[in-house]
Structures are given as C-alpha cells and as structure tokens.
Structure 1
Amino acid sequence: MNALLPTSIVGSLPKPSWLAQPETLWSPWKLEGDELLEGKRDALSLAVDEQRLAGLDVVSDGEQTRQHFVTTFIEHLSGVDFERRETVRIRDRYDASVPTVIGAVGRERPVFADDARALRAQTDRRIKWALPGPMTMIDTLSDRHYRSREKLAWEFAKILNQEAKELEAAGVDIIQFDEPAFNVFFDEVGDWGVAALERAAEGLRSETVVHICYGYGIKANTDWKATLGPEWRQYEQTFPLLQRSTIDTVSLESHNSRVPVDLIELLRGKNVMLGAIDVASDQIETPDEVAATLRDALRFVDADRLCPSTNCGMAPLARQVARDKMSALAAGADIVRAELA
C-alpha cells in the first residue's frame, strides 16, 4: 500500500458477461435467486483481483452487486414504489423512467453491509465503498409525498448516515458519496446540498469523499459536455463550499476534460481525488499521460493530499479496457512517486 499518491477507481467496473449485459448501464441481471446472489459475490471477488493485479492501493467492490449506483440503494427503502414509475429529467440532461416516493422514506435493514464484509474479507488493502449522495438520490426519483426536494434530501441524509455507520463497522476505510447533481443545481448546493451531505457523513471516523463528475461516458453526458464551452468551470461554484465543509476528500474529473486545473487551488487543505483516467473513451492512457496529469495537479495540491483516480465509473466500458486503464493509473502514479522521492 502506497502512502503517497494512493490510487483507486471512483466506483463501478464492468460486470462479467455471465452476470449482466456488457457495456450497458442499468443492465438487467442474467441470473436470478440464489444463483444471482452467488454470481454477484463471484463478480465482487473478480473485481478485487483485477484491482489488485492492476496495482491499485485502495480497493472497492466495483459496484458488482448493484444494477445502478443510485437506484439499487433506493430499492431497499420503504416509501418508494418501484411499480409506479414516472419519467423525470435527470440532472437536466436526459429523461429516465424512475420509481415514485409515495410515503415516508425509511430503511428497515442495512443495504450493503454484508457485501462490504465480503469485500473486507478478501483484501488487507484499504477498502472504499460508494453511496449515492442525498441530492443525486432525489434527482433520480419522482416525489409525490414530500413535494420538497430539500425535505426529501434531509430524510435521505439521515438514512445514508445510518448506512455509512454500518459500512464503517463492517471495516470500510473510505466512504464516498456520489453527487454528480452538484455540477448542475448550484443554488441548491449552496442552500442545503452541502449541509445535507455533511449530515450524511456526520460522526464517521472513516475518511469521507464527495465525488462530483460530468457523468459516465454515455451519449447524454457527452452531448451535454459539448454544450459547456471551451472551459468547464462548474466546480468554481461548489469547491469553495466544500473547502469549508467537514468532508475530507473531493473527487473530480480532470484528464481529457476542459476543467481548468487551477480550480483545484479552491480546495486547498482538502484531499484531492484526481481523475487521471478518461472513462468516456476506449483509448488506453499511457503511464506517461497519467503522470503528466498528476504533475499538472501538483502545482495546486500538496503531494500528500493527492489521490490519483478515474474520472468516473467504468461500468459501460469493455472489461479489458477497464483493466488496462487501471494498470495505466497505477503505473503513472509510480512514475510521479519516484520523482517525488
């Protein structure tokens, strides 16, 4: 385990073709019942091995037991009707058929604790678990009960905090909250978004991360990026708020993006999980390209606070592409570590 420049993926890895349709988001499972439970665990084990073989320092589950990074968590909550589906605009970008909140939301039992224990048993490296953030959860639902995005976000924040504490008890070292909605709803981020995120992370001893990206490499996201102009300055709205927050680490997209690298300066004092791998392209980065991205960032963040990572999840990529990208990430970090030494 490298103490300097610890490498990790953001979240998802491609699923094996015997478990779900390859290179597809929201892909239905190919197994059912006990076979599905066994298949998910087998896929989790494979994901651990692939990260270890690639040389990553921090290992995650690759989200192998989840169909989607938001809805799989919501599926386990009461007050949400998955039969009653409505079409909503997600992150002001694309329409999706989503479940409906019909009553008070609640969590009757832990959602991911068993999977986290299975992950913990398979590696002595630090492990990370990703949860959806409160604002991104409410943006992936239709709400017919609270009729207030803020009220529902606060309810989800409490539920997420319960789940995070159980993940911590299961041995998770790093708990990440995915908040791509922070790149869209800037007024809400300032009014209550960061506060709700802090509520979700309240009282945790594990390292806490907020991941804010420009999305998976799917058409709706790449089309949106094409409208953002020569510089993507969305982080300028959120980084000053997060710099003053209780969250330990901020995860951002960098390589092949149009995010001005000097925006990292706005996070001074926080850990920076830097996306040095482009997940919207099948092209494999060279270790030298990764190293160049990291060197660029080191002008604005201290080396002991830089954590090389991917821009976003890799679920829609081919498995070999994801493996090669992870290896490039580890090799690029090795180059820069040697220079720093």
Structure 2
Amino acid sequence: MTTITTTKAPFRADHVGSLLRPESIHQARKDFHEGAITAEQLHEIETKEIKRIIDKQIEAGLELVTDGEFRRRFWHTDFLEHLTGIEGYVPEVGYIFNGEEETERYNVRNTGKISFNPDHPHVKDFIEFNEIVGGRAVAKQTIPSPNQLFNEGIRDVDIYPDIEEYANDVIQAYRDAIKAFYDAGCRYLQLDDVYIAGLSSPDIPFNEGEFSREYLIDLALRVANGVLEGKPEDLVVTTHLCRGNYRSNWAFEGSYTLIAPTLFAKEKVNGFFLEYDDDRSGDFKPLEHIPNRGARVVLGLVTSKKGELEDRETIIARIREASQYVPLEQLCLSPQCGFASTHHGNNLTEEQQWEKLKFIVDIAKEVWG
C-alpha cells in the first residue's frame, strides 16, 4: 500500500473540506433528536458514510481526503462550543446573508476564561477518521480559525474587558488544539476564516465600532501567527478565507485588497485557500503581496455554489492570469468553498459535487503535470 506524505500539501488539486450530507445522515440526525436512535447508532451511520466518501475522494484522484465534516452541523460552532469558556446557544436572529436571507439560528458566546478542552470530541473524531484513511491519502482536518472568536458579540467584556488578554487566551487555546491534533497524527490542518475576509469587505463598516479596521487587521495577524509559534515543521497549516457559504448564498463581497499587504505578506501559514469564483472576489492583483517561494495559493476558481461545470479553458486561462502575480509553481486549484458549510448543503447534487472534484483533478494534471 502506498502511503502519501504531506510534503506537497496544499495539493495542486485540493478541496476546502465539507461535502454534501447524504439523506441517511439527515434522517439519522432527525431520528436521534426525536429519540428514535441512540448517539452510538448515529455515530455508526456517520462512520459508514465517511468511509464511503473517503473512497469517493480517492477515486476522484485527490491526494487528500476529509471526513466531509459529516459529524458537524455547522463548520465552526461545533468546534468552538467545545472549547472551555465558550458555549453554543440560539440567538434571536441568525446571520443575514445576501438578499436578507437569515441562516438557521445558532451561534457561540464567551462564558468564562478560554482554554482548550483536552477531551475535545473533534480530536477523537480525527483519530478514528485517520485510521479509516489508513495512509491511502492525506487525512486533512478542518477547524475554524481562532479569529472567528473575534466576531461581534462573542467576547464577554465583563470576563475580558481587555481584548488583548482575550487574544492571548485564544492564542494559547489554539496552540494547545494544534498540538492535540498533531499528537493525534494530523499533518494537514486547515483554519477556516470568514472573519478575516470580512475585514477586507467595504460593505462591513468598522468606523463606528470600538476598534478601527486597521487595528483589527493587525490583531488578526498577531492571533493567526501567534497560534503557529512552535508549530512542528512537518505539520502543514493552511487557511481558507471565505465570504460566507450557506445554501449556495453568500454574506458579503469585496476583494482581498485591504488585507493583502498585512495578511498575505506576513501570515505564517503554508497556504491560502482564496475564493475567486465570481466578480465578488475582485482581481488577482492582491496576490502580488504573497512572498515569492512563500505560501502556496489555492485558487478557488470552481464554484461549489452551483452544479454546472465551468469552462475548462476559462479556468486554465485564469490560472495563467494569476501566475502573473504568483509563480505557477506556487499555485493550486480547488472549489471556492466547501459544498456544505452547514448541514443544509449547497444547491447541487452529489453527482455534480464529484464531477467538480474530478474536473479540478483533471485540470491540475494538465496544468502542472
């Protein structure tokens, strides 16, 4: 059996992480909440489907696989609510997306001093997932970025009147999380980040809040780099900058121009997954801030929000266009986001999802060999 190493991660053909939940998982979740099946039975059904999608990813030609985030309801809250000092709750309103679409109401809030929970269930889930993969591909783990905890309304100012103290505890919690995943065998970890992408959106005002946009960009960089201090050399860490992904809808728009000089130039990750599937993303010029021979840039040129395949030659031409700012050998290709950042999933079929991933693999082979 061939065991794939992470020396090439992020890979020429990669993907963000989440996959469409099959009906069996939707039904099992419903049955569990109604008391018709046990937690163990739900876990067994999820495991069966995770085994299936691991095989499907390998069949598509991918060198990395994820568990599709099949044990989660939301891409971020499921992880964050299991940190010490954070709890999940149902707010009065959900997130508001394009067209005033309100998401399902669920969020997290700060209830005490923040630290990593050594019994965090996602670490246990990764161990089981990695055992199923069995070295046939790289087992990629996705978790929300520590900067997601800086969204408005999460920090309790009575517990943390000083945001810098809050940041220090978040950094330490994530350092401990990264070590826990590494000790569990993880060698490819992705930090998903809507917050940082929001700092570059002109639609989101910062001039009326407690802190300026410039301060928050600087703080986001310090948090992102702080959690990576002492990172093992053989652990690949990437970040995905997302503008919202809920039932094929998006939350905001804007290029990466405002954050590029700081975050692209100085964030110490091994790769950036960047959304470039439509005009909301702006052009490739901000990529000029990526250091030569620095982080890989994974171009999210193939949309996960709809099922129709893009034109092959157009995608290849856009990769060539991006190479005017970042050397071709530093570029990779992926969908712009996951296919199901929440349990609802995007508006495409599972067959279309697999076609998209195979499409990316085929183009990557043509471009990079």
TM-score by length of 1: 0.84
State the aligned residue count: 324
Closer, same or farther: CA 148–183 of 1 in aligned 2, 3 Å: farther
Contact 2:274 2:336 in 1 (8 A): yes
What is the DSSP-based 3-state SS (H/G/I as helix, E as strand, rest coil) of the residue aligned with 2:49?
Answer: helix
Stretch moving more, 173-182 or 38-47: 38-47
Pair 1:35-2:41 in alignment: yes
Q: What is the DSSP-based 3-state SS (H/G/I as helix, E as strand, rest coil) of the residue aligned with 2:224?
A: helix
1:89 deviates by 6.9
In the TM superposition, 1:192-231 aligns within 5 A as: 192-205=219-232, 206-216=235-245, 218=247, 221=250, 224-225=252-253
| Corresponding letter in the other structure for 2:240 | H
* Contact 1:44–1:65 (CA under 8 A) maintained in structure 2: no
Q: Distance in 2 between matches of 1:141 and 1:171?
A: 34
Q: 1:90 to 1:324 in 2, by over 3 A?
A: same
Task: State the distance in 1 between where 2:336 and 2:249 align.
Answer: 17
Matched letter for residue 75 of structure 1: E
Mapped contact 2:198–2:243 kept (Cα < 8 A): no
Alignment of 1:19-98 (within 5 A): 19-20=25-26, 30-31=31-32, 32-82=38-88, 85-87=90-92, 90=95, 96-98=105-107
Match of 1:323 in 2: 354
Shift of 1:71: 0.7
**Corresponding position of 2:301:** 276
Aligned residue number for residue 120 of structure 1: 130
Alpha-carbon spacing, 1:131–1:320, altered in 2? closer, same or farther (3 Å)? same
Note if contact 1:81-1:101 (Cα within 8 Å) is conserved in structure 2: yes
Determine the structure 2 residue equivalent to 1:229.
none
Alignment counterpart, residue 236 of structure 1, candidates 257, 266, 288: 257
Q: How far apart, CA to CA, are the structure 1 residues paired with 2:218 and 2:291?
A: 22
Q: Distance in 2 between matches of 1:98 and 1:268?
A: 36
AA aligned opposite 2:111: I
Gap change, CA 1:266 and 1:220, over 3 Å in 2: same
CA contact (8 A) 1:90 1:140 kept: no
Q: 1:15 and 1:187, CA in 2 relative to 1: closer, same or farther beyond 3 A?
A: same
Q: Residues of 2 paired with 1:198 and 1:89: CA distance?
A: 30
Alpha carbons 1:276, 1:329 under 8 Å: kept: no
1:87/1:97 contact within 8 Å kept: no
The corresponding residue for 1:228 is none
What do residues 296-341 of structure 1 show as CA deviations (whole Å, max 9, x unaligned)?
Answer: 2222222332121111111123322211111111111111124xxx
Q: Where in structure 1 are there 5+ consecutive unaligned residues?
A: 22-26, 226-231
- Is residue 142 of structure 2 the alignment partner of residue 130 of structure 1? yes
**Structure 2: any 5+ residue segments left out of the alignment?**
33-37, 200-212
Q: Deviations over 1:92-118 (max 9, x none)?
A: 976744243222233332332222223
C-alpha separation in 1, matches of 2:331 and 2:312: 17
Question: What do residues 183-204 of structure 1 show as CA deviations (whole Å, max 9, x unaligned)?
Answer: 2234354231111111222222
